[in-house]
Structure 1
Amino acid sequence: MTAIQTERRAAASNHDAWLTRRRWARAGWLYVFMLVMSFFFLGPFLMGLLSSMKDNPNEYPPKVIIPQLTAQYVSRAYNLGIQGGNSGWNGGLTPGREVNFDVSVRSPADAPKDAPVVSLFPYQPVSLVAIARQAQAKDYAQLKTVQVSQTGDTRVYRTTVTYPSLTAQTGEVIRAKLATPDADVRATLPSGETVKVTLDTPAAQAKQYELSESQRVELVKAGENYYLRGPLFERTPMQVDVQRGQSIVNSTLPPSDKQNFDRSFAFRNITPGILGYTFNNYRRAFNETMDPKSGRSLFFSWVLNSFLYAFLRVAAAVIFCSLAGYALARFDFPGKNLIFLGAVLFVQMVPSQVNLVSNYVLLKDLGLLNIWGLWFNGLVAAGGVFLMKQFFEGMPKELEESASIDGAGPFTTFWKVMLPQAGPALIALAITQFQGAWNDFFWPLVLLRQNTDFTLTVGLSSFSQLYGGQGDYGLILAGAILSAIPVIIIFIIFQRYFVDTGSDSAVKG
């Protein structure tokens, strides 16, 4: 082998290596670009998701690593839920339970050595539905604070929250409907029997709090007697204050709010469980919209209404748009072009607000100011007809000719030959219709009158009006995240159908 050949081979090898590095560099830059773009698109959603779990979503600068997603604090919240309500998932405070909560206080040599002042404070939830005043844990629970250890100038104090119960804890808990005729307290058992109930709390407090429609209580059978045990608390709010010169340096759970130069810590719930700690705002979205008369969550009704409306819109679009699109694409009949220009293209050019008054009056006269009227108002989507027409026009006519030779009629050809090949277009149509119906706000706001008939978008607007003015954006963010999840899931599952097609392999040769 000559030196010239060796040099050429080395040059070729270097060139190939350079091309390989260039291809890898281009691929790397492409992936970097995609990651940057995904951050811009998904960043707001992810930050909203994190902020919806925080006690203070308005914190600045915003933190990505938050206590609500830290294994250590989630485990502690679970244990506190077990102590307070015998449920690490739901938490709460129930009669006969005892909760231990530790606070570390630094007291330098020249500072007071007094124990912290611990107190429970009231929490009255804001609700979309008018509710009676709720019982407060501070009126029933007892507090005791003792020092348990000391390291240097830091002392650890343990506060024990005790909720006493008068009945035996071995009693059988019964779910029953409460009734209070005259001065007696009675309950209706699942069997239909009505029994007299003995109050398991001081009478004055019981009459003031326990017997409101929305207050949670337990019915306990101990022997032959029935006791009304409770009330049951979803939250146990607590505040810890120390003297000037002292500072709070640690606690079982991070505080929800700090004031007075770290001398005052407020905990919105010291018996949270996982739901009350990590997913507190999501639980509030359902609980604080609870109708006291029906016992049903309005937020849950809004979600069901949105799914029903979206399903009806998708079903109508798949049926009517595919039939109309196929007829306009394949059949020749008088006025075909006029129908396409007027009923399809022109309808898309006219804003829906132009027909607001006429459509509203018509639906009102028909008694359809509800979900069914909302569906009827958008029964046939002009955009969907246009999409299906263009798709059917792009399919090969050989499919219909083959079906015609086999003796198939127009409807049989459409139903058994053309429609199965239109899967990608139907999926795209279903996704766009579902997304449009799920995010529809204008017409649901105009037509729907009762809060039980609201869709999720209209319900979230009431969230913004009620909670936004108070700066309680965590609840609003939780509702927004819940409303976005179905659309994201459906798009991820069916996105491949946007580019897939079956007509390419339907004809050979």
Structure 2
Amino acid sequence: MMASTPAAKVPPLRRRLPAGALRRRQLAASAWLYLAFLAVATIMVGTFALAFIASLKVDPLERPFRIYFDQLNPAAWIAAARLGQEGAGDALWGGLAPGAKVDFSVTYAAPAVATIVEPRAEIPRRRPGSGIAAALMRHYAADYASIALRSSSAATMQARDERGFRQTWQTRTFVYEVTYRTDRQNGPRIERTPLNLTAPTSQTLIDSPISPSRSERRGRLLSWDNITPGALGLIFNNYRRVINETANLQTGKSLLGSWLGNTLAIATGRLVLTLVIASLAGYALARLKFRGSRLLFAAALFSMTIPAQVTFVSNYLILRDLSLLNTPWSVIVVFVASANVLLMKQFFEGFPREIEEAAVVDGASRFQVFCKIVLPNAKPALLVNAILAFQGAWNDFFWPLVLITSPPEALTVQVGLLSLRRSFGGVQGDWGLVLAGAFISIVPVVILFVLFQRHIVSTQFAKGTT
């Protein structure tokens, strides 16, 4: 009797889902993917928005970090516009001009058993910032303005104390008048009008047109950097300062514009040079078969693994011998080909050969095929390379720091931010100005990406690189 062989196992048939269930599963997967991208975008945009909000603050490092402050308060904008109009006839940027009379009111509160005394008011001889700003200061409001109490009025209010019990508090409003002195009517227009108020700790400031810039001596001394700011002067004070106070000490000319112009010139030059070299080299590696082409391609790949810090000494010596140091050309030519060549090579390899062969049959040369047929169809790849090259050049810090050291007007914006940190950060702690400068430096790249980001994922480019 022969042993029976076991029957082969037949795999169970996969159950086919109904069309409705399959559609719901696809929609669920798409929804989860969309939510994941939305979460990432929210984090990125939230970080960007938080940085912008912090750049408006007098003290970006304050703890706890407040989201709502005068620069985001419409009521403070209106008050700042009124003060700027009274101070210099300019509701937007404010100031203090000859003939000005400015009313500035403050309200103090104290328990019913205490006595509210008039705060001691003075316009201090205060430098507007630190570092370069202190050296550039020429005119002080204290030399041209006077302050006097014009009126005061008392009232009462109901409020809870620290223990939560409801109590009656007394309040007193003091109205001060800041006047441009009559004996200085031919004086200059002054950008800032600082104010100090000193009062006992038993009374607390509860209202003022704009909030004080800082509180010192356990709340006894309240300081305003500028009581005539104007609406835009209040909101964008750090941005105005980074433009006006980053200046050459010899000429007094603002350096930020020069830094932005230098960076734009370098980024544009590197963009053009990168597109020329990447397109020519990429097409040669993709289409031309010559001896050593594979070795050249391997060398290009290997060069991408070498950090710039390894070769910067030899590059520095070469550029020095060519007399290119402290010129934009040194930064433009030092780094123009790497991944851009590989990206163009991949695109050209996916371009149909039949189109090129048809052009050759019609009598076109290889260069004519490249210029008139291949390049016009490579616009998505060229645009992506342009964005990457511009962004890399704009954010480049190492090579400009090494190759461009003088004069101050020749620096790029990234190296200029380092000088801002040295002049206004650190011990000075003027981080609002530093953060405003950093935010200005990233705006051009963000605008460029927002305008052209759809080309990065364009269908034509995706087909060309598959």
TM-score, length basis structure 1: 0.79
Residues 446 and 156 of structure 1, relative CA distance in 2, 3 Å threshold: same
SS at match of 2:222: strand
Check the 8 A contact 1:146/1:159 in 2, yes or no: yes
CA distance in 2, matches of 1:245, 1:473: 32
1:325 equivalenced with 2:316 (yes/no): no
Structure 1, 468-477 or 440-449: larger mean CA deviation:
468-477
In structure 2, what is the equivalent of residue 434 of structure 1? 390
Superposition misfits of 4+ residues, deviation over 6 angstroms = 15-25, 503-506
CA distance in 1, matches of 2:108, 2:212: 14
Residues 500 and 139 of structure 1, relative CA distance in 2, 3 Å threshold: same
Q: 1:89 aligns with which of 89, 92, 107?
A: 92
In structure 2, what is the equivalent of residue 363 of structure 1? 319
CA positional deviation for 1:486 = 1.2
In structure 2, what is the equivalent of residue 44 of structure 1? 47
Q: 1:408 aligns with which of 345, 364, 386?
A: 364
Q: What stretches of structure 2 of length at least 5 have no aligned partner?
A: 1-17, 157-169
CA positional deviation for 1:136 = 1.4
Residues 389 and 27 of structure 1, relative CA distance in 2, 3 Å threshold: closer
- RMSD of Structure 2 on Structure 1 (CA): 2.5
Residues 416 and 501 of structure 1, relative CA distance in 2, 3 Å threshold: farther
In structure 1, what is the equivalent of residue 191 of structure 2? 234
TM-score, length basis structure 2: 0.86
Residues 41 and 307 of structure 1, relative CA distance in 2, 3 Å threshold: same
CA distance in 1, matches of 2:284, 2:310: 29
In structure 2, what is the equivalent of residue 5 of structure 1? none
Residues 425 and 148 of structure 1, relative CA distance in 2, 3 Å threshold: same
In structure 1, what is the equivalent of residue 115 of structure 2? 112
In structure 2, what is the equivalent of residue 134 of structure 1? 138
In structure 1, what is the equivalent of residue 151 of structure 2? 147
1:399 equivalenced with 2:355 (yes/no): yes
Residues 402 and 134 of structure 1, relative CA distance in 2, 3 Å threshold: same
Check the 8 A contact 2:146/2:179 in 1, yes or no: yes
SS at match of 2:304: helix
Counterpart mapping for 1:34-433 below 5 A: 34-124=37-127, 125-128=129-132, 131=135, 133-152=137-156, 153-165=170-182, 229-342=186-299, 344-369=300-325, 370-378=327-335, 380-433=336-389
CA distance in 2, matches of 1:466, 1:294: 18
CA positional deviation for 1:134 = 2.6
CA distance in 2, matches of 1:501, 1:21: 27
SS at match of 2:104: strand
- Offset from partner CA, 1:7-56 (integer Å, 9 cap, x none): xxxxxxxx999888877766665554334322332333222111110112
In structure 2, what is the equivalent of residue 218 of structure 1? none
Which amino acid in structure 1 is aligned with residue 93 of structure 2? N
Check the 8 A contact 2:104/2:209 in 1, yes or no: yes
The count of aligned residue pairs is 430
CA positional deviation for 1:77 = 1.2
Check the 8 A contact 2:275/2:385 in 1, yes or no: yes
Q: What stretches of structure 1 of length at least 5 have no aligned partner?
A: 1-14, 167-199, 202-228
Structure 1, 385-394 or 326-335: larger mean CA deviation:
326-335
- Offset from partner CA, 1:458-479 (integer Å, 9 cap, x none): 0101112222212221112111
Residues 132 and 48 of structure 1, relative CA distance in 2, 3 Å threshold: closer
CA distance in 1, matches of 2:35, 2:121: 52
- Offset from partner CA, 1:164-191 (integer Å, 9 cap, x none): 356xxxxxxxxxxxxxxxxxxxxxxxxx
- Offset from partner CA, 1:336-370 (integer Å, 9 cap, x none): 2222222x212212222222222112212222112
CA positional deviation for 1:334 = 2.5
